[in-house]
Amino acid sequence: MDEQHATRRAQEIIRQATDGMVPKPTLKQVGPGPVGPCLADDDATASGRKQVGLTYQLTDVPGSEAKRLLRHVRDAWVKKGYTFISRDADWSVPFPKFFMRTPTDDFWMNGIIGPTNKEAGEGIVAISVTSPCFAETAQTPSGANPAAHRTPPGTTDAERRALGHSSRIYEALGVPYQEQAGDGVSRVEDGADVLTHHTWSTVPLSKEARRGAMRRGRDSLSGAGWDVRALSLENDEEMIVARHHVDGSLARVAASANGSVRVAVTAVDDEGFRPA
């Protein structure tokens, strides 16, 4: 993921939503520039990560057509296999809204109607697309995101996959990272395969916060199409084990003895890669 790829993908998702609309609206871009700091990072200035966000108003159409146009957006994204983050819009209200995501690459979208004439129930549709965060400058694993550094030349595809999956899990957990002994990337031989491991930990958390982080991690992995299992551990704790449906990577997310959440992601190097 980089700025160019994120921008192209966000524009594609917008086009998917608006193709074939009748009456055909004019797309008016609103808001700040499309590239901004990563909102998931505790200190976006320190992490250097960016994300792309595009918002358009659908203008030059009658306000009475807003709900029909918004339903077109919803139907187009559902047809593409995109999923709701919570639930579908309440279409019985005058100005509905909904929130969705792309399960394969985790772009987040929403569609809303802003009222222009409340009494008449007329409004204007706005649709937004936000990319995942991506590294813009060189980082170290001790930054805000354990996988936010740009990999050096010669980095294997397996390492990129492991770091990419780690980054998504970090964003899903929603708690700060804290470097511990043994964190980082390692490679080991396992028979004919060469495995790349990336391990990292969160800060120590209260039991309630730890359960919340584990729940968000489990939901994010399931929503992204991983095959997920939740295993019960001692002291009423939980461990999540998951396998990626495309590249076969494995992830383990578990509560550790010091109260932190420990994450381990394993990817198979290209020579031993076996699609799921």
Residue 197, pLDDT > 70, answer yes
Kindly report the number of other CB atoms within 10 A of residue 139's CB atom: 19
pLDDT 10s digits, 48-77: 788 999 999 999 999 999 999 999 999 999
- In this prediction, residue 189 carries a pLDDT of 67
Distance (Å, whole) CA 240 – CA 214: 8
pTM: 0.52
Task: Provide the token pair at 9.
Answer: 């993908």
28, 145, 261 from 74: Cα distances, Å: 19, 33, 36
Residue pair 127/14 in contact by the 8 Å Cβ criterion:
yes
Kindly report the number of other CB atoms within 10 A of residue 214's CB atom: 21
Distance (Å, whole) CA 205 – CA 64: 50
Kindly report the number of other CB atoms within 10 A of residue 44's CB atom: 17
Residue range 173-191: mean pLDDT, rounded? 75
- Locate tokens 């400058």: which residue? 137
Residue partners of 195: CB distance under 8 A and separation at least 6: 158, 187, 188, 189, 266, 267, 268, 269, 272
Backbone angles phi, psi at 181, to 5 degrees: -60, 135
pLDDT 10s digits, 1-60: 788 889 999 999 999 999 999 889 999 998 767 888 887 776 656 667 889 999 999 999
Residue pair 125/57 in contact by the 8 Å Cβ criterion:
yes
